Amino acid sequence: MKTALILLVVTLSLSYVFGQKDPHFADGRNTIVHLFEWHWDDIANECENYLGPKGYAGVQVSPPSENTVIGNRPWWERYQPISYALTTRSGDENSFANMVQRCNNAGVRIYVDAVFNQMSATSGGGTAGNSADVGNLQYPAVPFGPGDFHSRCEVNNYQDPNNIRNCWLVGLPDLDQSSEYVRGKIVDYLNHLVDLGVTGFRVDAAKHMWPADLQAIYGSVKDVSVGGRPFYFQEVIDMGGEAVKKTEYNSFGTVLEFKFGTELGNAFQGNNPIHYLKNWGPEWGLLDGSDAVAFIDNHDNQRHGSGAILTYKNPKPYKMAIAFMLAHPYGTTRIMSSFYFDDADAGPPGYGPGFNDDGSCTNGWVCEHRWRQISNMVGFRNAVAGTQISNWWDNGDQQIAFGRGDKGFIAFTLNGDINQNLQTSLPAGTYCDIISGNLENGSCTGKSVNVDGSGQASINLSNGDEDGMVAIHVNAKL
Ligand SMILES: *[C@@H]1O[C@H](CO)[C@@H](O)[C@H](O)[C@H]1NC(C)=O
Ligand SMILES: *[C@@H]1O[C@H](CO)[C@@H](O)[C@H](O)[C@H]1NC(C)=O
């Protein structure tokens, strides 16, 4: 009896924490798109008009909590909260609630970028009409006061976990999440968002908070409306060599795997032959895929990343790296959707996106998620769900190809042309290459690929083509 009870408790608590790694995607969908700095009303429209129909599973939204209004309105003011009121330049609480409902109805989940490591380092008025007095550590609209923060010191020693977790990151007042009062305010904020229908949280600066405090906070948040625990994906930048490890965080949530985009960015820029990707996954020092959110770039490292980070500014290898990510079974995948910038501090365009006839965006928005090669690869990932890698082929250098069971096949070249038959496990027929075109009205607007009765695909891919890959799947068969 006692043993059975203990087993029951262990099983329940295990399903509890494993549940926090489940993004609760609707059936037949995959991939979160970060609609960085989009307005809530525009996101609601995008869920209905584009993301839902194209098979996307979710949106990461910019922080909805009130921030200090800072000078020329840099993007990073959103990471300087002064209260948990839900009014920002993206919209107010009504438009937020409306967005979540409309996106959920379109089969697209909303994940909130939750900022609670810190409060604003800038005094003054906020986006919801509240104010803060940073010199006296007064944030009356929460309220937080001096006793709710770690005493001031700068995060400057990445070999010391106490310095990383208890000091102030870039001068931002550092909340003490070991305090029951502070935890309670954070949990109230997250519960409010759950009540409005959000499915999970990207946890900003998780590396700068103690795992035990985060575990306690996450465990106190209620179940989400689509059923089960909230999904947590945590910002823990661990490239090796520092005191804080991503493996301190992956037992109670997933972790944003920063090595993923660094290694793929390096490979698809030609610095590491892509045939080595044959064993892509934990053998490369990555977390297990079930513990990881995979991405090529994010809003920080597209501005301040090393040369290894690919972005919209280098489109050919960027699209290849994203196609590899979406074709490979590893992890829960996330796409960055940006606004154009030269100045790394610049805030978003003053207007939301409009759309050209070809579906691309106007008004300064890049909309990588609408690029044919990217959105069609989301369709590929949906088509091949549940299969593993099969029929790996490479030329020992910069050309690779692989299948996903009897559902899909993709080939890449970074150097030289491919004009040969490659073995697949696909049914015979003619397939539309979803990289160079779309399957529309029963015909393909790009290249077609023939697969013969023995599964041999005739692949023609030139190094000089606009894109360095060809991809076919069973849902785009002629
Ligand atoms: C395309 O590839 C096939 C082999 O699959 C080859 O026989 C054919 O010559 C190639 N076509 C061109 C235009 O190179
Ligand atoms: C497909 O059909 C629609 C509706 O008739 C039409 O607007 C569109 O141009 C067609 N696309 C192609 C590639 O023929």
Distance 463 CA to ligand 1 centre (A): 14
For 317-354, b/e burial (b = at least 16 CB within 10 A) is bbbbbbbbbbbbebbbbbbbbbbebeeeebbbeeebbe
Which CATH number belongs to the domain containing residue 136 in this structure?
A: 3.20.20.80
Identify each DSSP E strand in 129-198 by its residue range. 131-132
Question: In this predicted model, what pLDDT tens digit does every residue of 53-76 receive, in sequence order?
Answer: 999 999 999 999 999 999 999 999
Question: In this predicted model, what pLDDT tens digit does every residue of 20-49 receive, in sequence order?
Answer: 999 999 999 999 999 999 999 999 999 999
- Parent domain of 467: 389-476
Pick the last residue of a domain from 349, 383, 417. 383
Report if residue 205 sits inside a domain.
yes
Nearest CA to ligand 2 atom 1: 441
Residues 277, 178: one domain? yes
Distance 54 CA to ligand 2 centre (A): 17
Residues 149, 295: one domain? yes
Q: Work out the average pLDDT over 317-323.
A: 98
Share of the chain above pLDDT 70, in %: 96
Distance 440 CA to ligand 2 centre (A): 7
Longest dimension (CA), the chain: 75
Report if residue 1 sits inside a domain.
no
Residue 443 alpha carbon, nearest atom of ligand 2? 13
Report if residue 35 sits inside a domain.
yes
Residues 371, 427: one domain? no
Report if residue 439 sits inside a domain.
yes
Looking at the predicted structure, is the pLDDT value of residue 3 above 60? no
Distance 433 CA to ligand 2 centre (A): 18
**Residue of 399, 409, 417, 420 to test ligand 1 pocket, by largest number of atoms within 8 Å of CB:** 420
Looking at the predicted structure, is the pLDDT value of residue 1 above 70? no
Distance in angstroms between the alpha carbons of the first and the last residue of the chain: 60
- pLDDT at position 452: 98
Distance 421 CA to ligand 1 centre (A): 8
CA 228 to chain centre: 20
Q: What is the pTM of this model?
A: 0.96
456 lines ligand 1 (CB under 6 A): no
130 lines ligand 1 (CB under 6 A): no
Report if residue 176 sits inside a domain.
yes
Are the C-beta atoms of 331 and 293 separated by less than 8 Å? yes
Lowest mean pLDDT segment, chosen from 7-21, 236-250, 394-408: 7-21
Residues 34, 88: one domain? yes
Looking at the predicted structure, is the pLDDT value of residue 2 above 60? no
Look up residue 50 and give its DSSP letter. Answer: I
State the total domains in the chain.
Answer: 2
Residues 189, 53: one domain? yes
Across the chain, mean pLDDT equals 96
pLDDT tier, 16 (very low <50, low <70, confident <90, very high otherwise): low
pLDDT tier, 8 (very low <50, low <70, confident <90, very high otherwise): low
Residue 458 alpha carbon, nearest atom of ligand 1? 5
Residues 202, 230: one domain? yes
Report if residue 2 sits inside a domain.
no
- pLDDT at position 305: 87
Whole-number Å distance between alpha carbons of 144 and 136: 11
Look up residue 125 and give its DSSP letter. Answer: E
Report if residue 319 sits inside a domain.
yes
Nearest one of 329, 295, 290 to 310, comparing CA atoms: 295
Residues 248, 302: one domain? yes
Looking at the predicted structure, is the pLDDT value of residue 13 above 80? no
Residue 421 alpha carbon, nearest atom of ligand 1? 5
Looking at the predicted structure, is the pLDDT value of residue 5 above 90? no
Residues 290, 399: one domain? no
- pLDDT at position 343: 97
Whole-number Å distance between alpha carbons of 119 and 139: 8
462 lines ligand 1 (CB under 6 A): no
Residues 404, 465: one domain? yes
Residues 376, 282: one domain? yes
Which CATH number belongs to the domain containing residue 437 in this structure?
A: 2.60.40.1180
Report if residue 4 sits inside a domain.
no
**Residue of 458, 459, 470, 472 to test ligand 1 pocket, by largest number of atoms within 8 Å of CB:** 458
Q: Work out the average pLDDT over 448-468.
A: 97
Whole-number Å distance between alpha carbons of 469 and 243: 39
Distance 417 CA to ligand 1 centre (A): 10
Pick the last residue of a domain from 383, 403, 436. 383
Strand pairing report for 408-413 and 399-404: antiparallel
- Give the residue numbers marked as catalytic: 204, 235
Question: In this predicted model, what pLDDT tens digit does every residue of 122-181 receive, in sequence order?
Answer: 999 999 999 999 999 999 999 999 999 999 999 999 999 999 999 999 999 999 999 999
Looking at the predicted structure, is the pLDDT value of residue 237 above 70? yes
Question: In this predicted model, what pLDDT tens digit does every residue of 359-412 receive, in sequence order?
Answer: 999 999 999 999 999 999 999 999 999 999 999 999 999 999 999 999 999 999
Identify each DSSP E strand in 319-468 by its residue range. 332-337, 389-394, 399-404, 408-413, 418-423, 429-432, 439-440, 443-444, 448-451, 456-461
- pLDDT at position 92: 98
460 lines ligand 1 (CB under 6 A): yes
Residues 375, 402: one domain? no
**Residue of 432, 441, 445, 478 to test ligand 2 pocket, by largest number of atoms within 8 Å of CB:** 441
Residues 415, 346: one domain? no
Pick the last residue of a domain from 335, 361, 383. 383
